Amino acid sequence: MQLPDISRRRALAYVLALLTVLSLAGRVAFRDESPAPAAAPLNLRAEPPPARKVVVHVVGQVYEPGLYSLPEGSRVDDAIKRAGGPKPKAALALVNLAAPVADGQQVVVPSNREAAQALAGGSVAGGAGGRVHLNSATLDQLDELPGIGPVTAQKILDYRSEHGAFGSVEELDAVPGIGPATLDELRDLVDL
């Protein structure tokens, strides 16, 4: 096969055209794009976890009895305040306002009349059924329970301070000085 004769001028024109096409193709392929905007700096802040909540049932001599959601670590006093505060006839002396509340706990605020009846009947709880409330009972109230003296009553208060509110009556078994026999004797006399 024989190549056609091309003049120098024509060959030079072909080479210039080819260089122009390659130059344009290079510009398109490697076009200088404007730089992408810098990414916004990451704002990494440690945020505290959301506060956990407990739900308590406040009944008795309060203005607005009902269920209340409180921050974990709240006290019986906080629960009573959320329920509108105590009524004038509330026997707050029988309620441990400083006791921590536990999830699912019922806070009973007795009336003066109920407290007098409970004390006259030999019950020290001042609550429903005359039971001592483990999560709000005072040293004196615990001391009056059968099989519990002042030393064991103090151990119950210490346990409550260290571990928070009791989650069940059976948890009394973890208090030093309270064994299965004493726990069986106390089951019908205490609640949360």
Domain locations along the chain: 53-191
Asked if 61 contacts 110 with a C-beta cutoff of 8 angstroms, the reply is yes
pLDDT at residue 171 is higher than 90: no
Q: Using one digit for the tens of pLDDT, what is the confidence trace for 66-111?
A: 999 999 999 999 999 999 999 998 988 888 999 899 888 889 898 8
Higher pLDDT, 181 or 36: 181
For the chain, what percent of residues have pLDDT higher than 90? 19
20-24, 101-105, 108-112, 119-123: which has the minimum mean pLDDT? Answer: 119-123
Going from the C-alpha of 143 to that of each of 31, 54, 137, 148, 153, the distances in angstroms are: 89, 29, 10, 6, 5
Give the predicted TM-score (pTM) of the model.
Answer: 0.43
Asked if 135 contacts 166 with a C-beta cutoff of 8 angstroms, the reply is yes
Whole-angstrom Cα distance, residue 89 to residue 113? 8
Higher pLDDT, 42 or 128: 42
Higher pLDDT, 65 or 33: 65
Helix (H) or strand (E) holding 139: helix 139-143
The domain 53-191 is placed in CATH, from the list 1.10.150.320, 2.60.40.420, 3.40.50.300, 1.10.10.10, at: 1.10.150.320
